Structure 1
Amino acid sequence: MNPLSSFSRRNFLRTLAVTGLASGSAFAAPSSTAQPFNEVHDLVIVGSGFAGLSAAYAALKAGVKD
């Protein structure tokens, strides 16, 4: 029997939900000791894939320092 024959999207999502509920971290309350964000930057790149790295390189060549 093929081990992937019983694999379905519904079973995967059910397992993922049960694991998240069991760990308790999926629905954790935000920390009350969070500090306010008050920094200013010229550019923020989210991610480090090829697109993020090429955007950072292009910004560096264009003279963006922060």
Structure 2
Amino acid sequence: MIQQLLAPAEAARLLGVSVRSLERMRVAGDGPPFVRIGKRRVAYTAGCMEAWLASRTFDHRAAEMARRAKGGL
């Protein structure tokens, strides 16, 4: 099943960050998974963005710190 692709500007708006911040996250490997469309064009799927957000969701601060201690995030 093919999902609708979101341009970086759309993805950044949905995440509440700037396009530049999203680019930095992509380069550092900290951002949501992306699709390489062409040599200089990338896009994001809503499903990948939702999964990425879910992986960064915590019930409390201690859970976040425990994951960091294990090498996550």
TM over 0.5: no
The structure with the largest alpha-carbon Rg is: 1
Query: Which of the two has greater helix per residue?
Result: 2
Q: Normalising by the residue count of structure 1, what TM-score does the alignment of the two structures yield?
A: 0.28
- Structure whose residues are more often strand by fraction: 2
Higher relative contact order (CA 8 A, sep 6+): 2
Give the alignment's TM-score, normalised by structure 2: 0.26
